[in-house]
Each structure stands twice: as structure tokens, then as C-alpha cells.
Amino acid sequence: MMENFDDLVTDSRLRREELLERVEETGRDEYYLGSYRVMTTSGSSGRKGLFIYDESGWSAIMAQFLRHCAMMQFRPQLPRQRVAAIVGGAPTHMSRQVAANVAVGIHNVRTLPGTLRVERLVEKLNRFGPDHMNAFPSLAVILAEEQLAGRLRISLKSMTTSSELRTPEMTDRIVEEAFGVRPFDLYANTEGLWGVECERHEGIHLFEDAALLENVDEDGCPVPPGERLLITGLYNLVQPVIRLEVSDVVALEPGPCPCGRTLVRTRAIEGRREDVLELAGRDGGAVAVHPLQFALLTRDREVREFQVVQEGESVLILVVARPSASSELQGRLREVVSRKLTELGVREPRLGGTSQEPDTFGERQTATRGRGFNHTSSPSRMTD
Ligand SMILES: [Zn+2]
């Protein structure tokens, strides 16, 4: 869909390259051509997605936001409830745009970039004192540790986690030991499919009246619970999504939910599991590095995709560069990753580098490694 963006959108004035350029230049939440909202995904999955909504399409997104709040009994009230939304870094990420809209009168929303150092995040949360918090499960666990250690001191009425797999162990740590509330798992993708757990917490109810959902077999034929899920969006008329495979949602649960709602449930959101890296810190401890930190790689226009592979304390960063990429790309990436890891408190993140021959797709791969990062896995994994 990203490769054929210009052919798929229904307004010929919308051009992928121009949109990406504009997104980088303005970095602000504003309408494009007077009516379109432009959104990008964080890129932590390795590739940045571009999505566009017109006003009515965006209203449908906001309706889904309110609906998920209602399912958790988290309704607007006066004085307004304080919501801490820990979000993807870029202003064009859907979570930031939704939060900005909600902050106009519905809830008192504070967005905090998930890329902040944990100390900074704790400080900001303590000062704000949220009633509700949304965070990635991996980050929620880190914050649970902070709460248990007494550095974070917040009292939550409710909580949502999203975008990643949350294991029962993570839930226990968050609920029973740290915050005393059972988090609702929220699913919201930029393609427009939303859903949330009900009070029974037995799977995520997907809002299937806003999207057509089909479980299919390997040939794309509809089957009862299957391993692949296709979605067809029913409200985005600018960038129609028709039978798009959603890779992080799996089989639909056929049985009814004890809560009585008839919205279909998913058994599991696989998400990007177990992907927080632990690297040696300057102060001797370990530094948890969330994959979102590496999204800065896709901010470079010459990067098409990337992958971070960890084994022990070594990290190998594999990059598929655009054919037009200059020879300076590798040095530039080495510098930004190094600066970021230093900022996060990682010990001596000195990165070396090697270049690979063109791969089978005719694009260059670049492997960056160095002291503490001397893993020698084969870069060919990237092309699997
Ligand atoms: Zn239910």
C-alpha cells in the first residue's frame, strides 16, 4: 500500500513524496489542502506508514475513541479527568492527533513522548497526577517498577495499554503490585480498525461495524477462525483500505462474550512482543531501550526499512536503503543512534560499520556494528 500510495488515494492532488516532505517540514498538527489529516506510523516496526483522512473519516476515528472510553466506563466529567497519553514520538502519529482533539473540552490530556528518558517521564507524571494513563505494555511495566520503587507516585482510576502483546505476567506486575487497576487492552491501528477489552478482559472487542473483518486461509478465501485477518474500512473514502492484511491481529473468537456484547473478539493481539532491549548502562545497571527509540532511523528519508537484532549485549542494525541513498547514510545513522543511546544512558555506544553487497532486491543493505555491538548475524535475514 505504501509503494502504490499515489495510485490508491482517491484525490490526485495527494502525492506520497510531497506529503512525507510536508510532514517533516511542518511537524505540526494541521490540515493539508484545507481538509485532510496526514498521519504517519512511528516506524518502530521498521517502516513508516502514511495515512490520510478527510473530515468525516476523522470524525469516525474520534467516535471510536469515545466509544472505547465508554466501554471502560471512563466518561467525560467536570472537572475534566486528567489523561496521560504516552505516545509515539512524531506529531503526525495518530495517538498524538487523537489526543490533541480530545484535549479540546473532553478530557484534560497531556501527551508525553514514549521516547523520553524514564526519569523525565516519572517527573512529568508526578507533576500532572493523571486519573487515567495509556502506555505501551513494555513501558507500563517499566513505570510499574518506578511506582513500586516509590519514585513514581500516581493514583490511577483506570489504565489502557496498546500496540504490543501484554502477557499475564506483565498484567500482574502492573495491576496487583503497582497501580491497583486492571488495564484495558486497546487496539487502534492507523488503517482505522479499533477495539478494546470489555470489563471481562477476555479478548478485545473489535468495532466491526466500522470495518469489515474476514478471517481467511492462505489463498485468501474466507474461513471461520483462521490465521490471517483482512480488513476493509467502511469510512475512509480518501485512502480506501480494501481487504488489507493486518499482521498483528490474529484469529477471531467465534463464541459470545459473557458481557453480552456481540462485537467480535480477537483471541490475541500479537503486536511486537518482547522487543525491549536491555543494554549495559553507564552507571553499571541495565538500560531498557524501547523499540520506539529506533524509529528515528525511519525519519531518515533514505531508509526504507530497518531491523534491530540483539544477542546478549550486542546489537546489529540492518538497514535497507533506498536506491537513491548517498554514501553518507551509514555515518549519519551511526551518529544519530549513538547520540540517542548516549542520551538514554547506555555505556559507550560506539558503533562501527560495514557495508554489504546489493541484495536480491537491488537495494543496498547497511550493517552497523561496533564495540558492545559486535554481533555477527547474517544481514540476509532482512530479506526473508
Ligand atoms: Zn465482552
Q: Supply the pLDDT for residue 253.
A: 80
Q: How far is the CA of 186 from the centre of ligand 1 (A)?
A: 13
| Cα-to-centroid distance, 197 and ligand 1 (Å) | 7
Quick one: pLDDT band at residue 384, thresholds 50, 70, 90?
Answer: very low
pLDDT, mean of residues 96-125: 88
pLDDT of 94 reads 80
- Report how far apart, in Å, the C-alpha atoms of 252 and of each of 199, 205, 208, 244, 286 are: 19, 10, 11, 16, 38
CA of 220 to the centre of ligand 1 (A): 28
CA of 71 to the centre of ligand 1 (A): 9
Ligand 1 centroid to residue 257 C-alpha, Å: 5
Percent of the chain with pLDDT over 90: 32
48-52, 131-135, 254-258, 365-369: which has the highest mean pLDDT?
131-135
Q: What is the pLDDT of residues 305-329, one digit of tens each?
A: 778 887 777 778 888 787 778 888 8
What is the distance in A from the centroid of ligand 1 to the CA of 256? 8
User: 299: how many CB neighbours lie within 10 A of its CB?
Assistant: 14
d(CA 262, ligand 1 centre) in Å: 8
CB 121 within 8 A of CB 135: no
At 189, which amino acid appears?
N
Distance 116 CA to ligand 1 centre (A): 34
- Type of residue found at 200: R
CA of 260 from ligand 1 middle (Å) equals 6
Q: How far is the CA of 204 from the centre of ligand 1 (A)?
A: 8
Span 287-314, average pLDDT: 76
- As a whole number of angstroms, the distance between CA 274 and CA 264 comes to 26
How does pLDDT run across 12-37, given as a tens digit for each residue? 999 998 888 887 776 566 788 988 99
Mean pLDDT of 187-211: 90
Residue 62 has pLDDT above 60, yes or no: yes
Please report the pLDDT score of residue 267 as a whole number: 67
What pLDDT, in 10s, does the model give residues 125-139?
A: 999 999 999 998 878
More confident residue, 213 or 21: 213
Measure 221 CA to ligand 1 centroid, in angstroms: 28
Confidence category of residue 353, pLDDT binned at 50, 70, 90: low
Using the mean position of ligand 1's atoms as its centre, give its distance from the Cα of residue 200 in Å.
6
Distance from residue 252's CA to the centre of ligand 1 (Å): 13
pLDDT reading at 182 higher than 50: yes
pLDDT band (50, 70, 90) for residue 184: very high
253 C-alpha to ligand 1 centroid (Å) = 11
CA of 259 to the centre of ligand 1 (A): 4
Cα 225 to averaged position of ligand 1 atoms, centre (Å): 18
How much is the pLDDT for 34?
Answer: 87
**Which range is most confident: 146-160, 165-179, 263-277?**
146-160
| Three-state DSSP string of the chain | CCCCHHHHCCCCCCCHHHHHHHHHHHCCCCCECCCEEEEECCCCCCCCCEEEECHHHHHHHHHHHHHHHHHCCCCCCCCCCEEEEEECCCCCCHHHHHHHHHCCCCCEEEEEECCCCHHHHHHHHHHHCCCEEEECHHHHHHHHHHHHCCCCCCCCCEEEEECECCCHHHHHHHHHHHHCCCCEEEEECCCCCEEEECCCCCCEEECCCCEEEEEECCCCCECCCCCEEEEEECCCCCCCCCCEECCCECCEECCCCCCCCCCCEECCECECCCCCEEEEECCCCEEEECHHHHHHHHHCCCEEEEEEEEECCEEEEEEEECCCCCCCHHHHHHHHHHHHHHHCCECCCCCCCEECCCCCCCCCEEEECECCECCCCCHHHHHC
Please give the distance, rounded to the nearest whole angstrom, from the Cα atom of residue 177 to the centre of ligand 1. 25
The band of 56, judged by pLDDT with boundaries at 50, 70 and 90, is very high
CA of 264 to the centre of ligand 1 (A): 9
Distance 277 CA to ligand 1 centre (A): 34
- Ligand 1 centroid to Cα of residue 208, in Å, is 14
Residue 261 has pLDDT above 80, yes or no: yes
Least confident range of 52-61, 83-92, 355-364: 355-364
Residue 64 Cα to ligand 1 middle (Å): 16
**From ligand 1's centre to the CA of 173, what distance in Å?**
23
CA 24 to ligand 1 center in whole angstroms: 41
Q: How far is CA 175 from the centre of its chain?
A: 22
The reported pLDDT for the residue numbered 368 is: 45
pLDDT in tens, 109-118: 999 988 888 8
> What distance in angstroms lies between residue 184's CA and the mean position of ligand 1's atoms?
12
Q: How far is the CA of 120 from the centre of ligand 1 (A)?
A: 37
Residue 271, CB half-sphere, CA atoms under 13 Å: how many?
24
pLDDT at 206: 92
